[in-house]
Amino acid sequence: MRKEQFNQLFPDTPAYRWKQIEQAFFVPTILSWDGVTSLSKEMRARLVDVPFMSVTAKQVMVSAKKDTHKALLELGDEQVVESVLMENARGDWTICVSSQVGCAMRCGFCATGKMGLKRSLTADEIVDQYRFWIQYLTPTPIPQLPTSNPQRISNIVFMGMGEPLANYINVRDTLNTWLTYTDIGKTRITVSTVGVLPRLEQILTDKDWPHVRLAVSLHSAIAETRKQIVPTSYDDFLPKLQDWARRYLKLLGNRRHHLTFEYVMLKDVNDTDEHARALSTFVHSIGNVRCNLIPYNLTDCEFSRSEDSQIAKFLSILEKSDVVATRRKTMGDDIAAACGQLIVLSKKPRDQTLG
């Protein structure tokens, strides 16, 4: 439920009431309106028809290593999105959330792109993916001790289904809600975007946009290659992105705040030495940018994964020219939960174990 809906139901109610509700939403042991004891019984009774949670798990798949969990979450209109929980290097959890059902961007290598766009998610439906995973990680509800749960979500990435900047207002509302009600700070949230230039521009002046980390899915610093793999690329995308990125870093860049370029490694398409040098030149023309190389996760398309040796060579060309670059660890590929594999299948995914 959003504030506007609450205010309609309870006009003239003091603002702290809504705050109490939002606080209760983030207590993992409170699973229904009955648990929101800060509200009177009468108020709770009037809320019975309002869903306490906007997503319901239809299925959770767990990878063989148990470090990746993928949930199929059903929405009020029976659409389904996927949301992923992954163990991170610090032994905490990172969640990977969806911002849309499907995606309109049609990136040639991404399974979600093949679905087309069904609709954008509401802010509740994005916020509640976090609430779902927090509840999932809280095995035995102990109402008196809501903080006794040692399992912690420390990071959130918008790398599930959809293009977050094509759902700007709801993503912004979601970010502000999480920043208010969870202990996750701005540097632990990453919005990954294909590069929707008008929205990137808006971020520079929008007082309500919280400056979380941004990652741009570049995938090539050579114009023809980028257009080939990301067909929705704007004309002159690279010089426009370069201009934007310089201004972004001027406004916000500091030792802690950088920009990330994501780069999916597609064999013989964007992984040659020439591509590495073009990426390095592009990065140096901008400034504080880090590169994250993503080994391609197989989907039903014409691309194949770069050889490990070529990924290593690409990485070393970047490093030798002083570009900060990392290779992303592939997780959850046995349950089709890795980057770009998120698509709602009509048949059961293979190799699954139910959690």
Interacting residue ranges for ligand SAH, rule: CB under 6 A = 107, 109-110, 159, 163, 192-194, 217, 262, 264, 294, 296-297, 299, 339-340
- For residue 316, the tally of other CB atoms under 10 A from its CB is 12
Q: How far is the CB of 243 from ligand SAH (least distance, A)?
A: 20
Q: What is the number of the residue whose Cβ is closest to ligand SAH?
A: 340
The three-state secondary structure class of 276 is: helix
Distance, CA of 287 to CA of 292 (rounded, Å): 15
Provide the strand spans (E) within the chain: 56-62, 68-74, 80-87, 93-96, 100-102, 117-120, 153-158, 189-193, 213-217, 259-265, 289-295, 324-327, 353-354
Is 339 marked active-site?
Answer: yes
- Catalytic-labelled residue, pool 103, 110, 291, 339: 339
Is 107 marked active-site?
Answer: no
The two structure tokens encoding residue 74 = 């059903």
Beta bridge partners of 94: 86, 155
Q: How far is the CB of 271 from ligand SAH (least distance, A)?
A: 13
| H or E segment and range at residue 172 | helix 168-181
The residue (of 12 and 224) whose beta carbon lies closer to ligand SAH is: 224
Q: How far is the CB of 7 from ligand SAH (least distance, A)?
A: 33
Distance, CA of 121 to CA of 133 (rounded, Å): 17
- For residue 110, give the amino acid letter: C
- For residue 266, give the amino acid letter: L
Q: How far is the CB of 105 from ligand SAH (least distance, A)?
A: 6
- Taking a C-beta distance cutoff of 8 angstroms, is the pair 332, 84 a contact? yes
The residue (of 46 and 328) whose beta carbon lies closer to ligand SAH is: 328
Distance, CA of 95 to CA of 88 (rounded, Å): 10
- Taking a C-beta distance cutoff of 8 angstroms, is the pair 94, 332 a contact? no
Q: How far is the CB of 318 from ligand SAH (least distance, A)?
A: 17
Beta bridge partners of 155: 94
The residue (of 54 and 192) whose beta carbon lies closer to ligand SAH is: 192
The residue (of 28 and 340) whose beta carbon lies closer to ligand SAH is: 340
The residue (of 110 and 311) whose beta carbon lies closer to ligand SAH is: 110
- Catalytic-labelled residue, pool 82, 125, 163, 262: 82
Give catalytic residue positions.
Answer: 82, 339
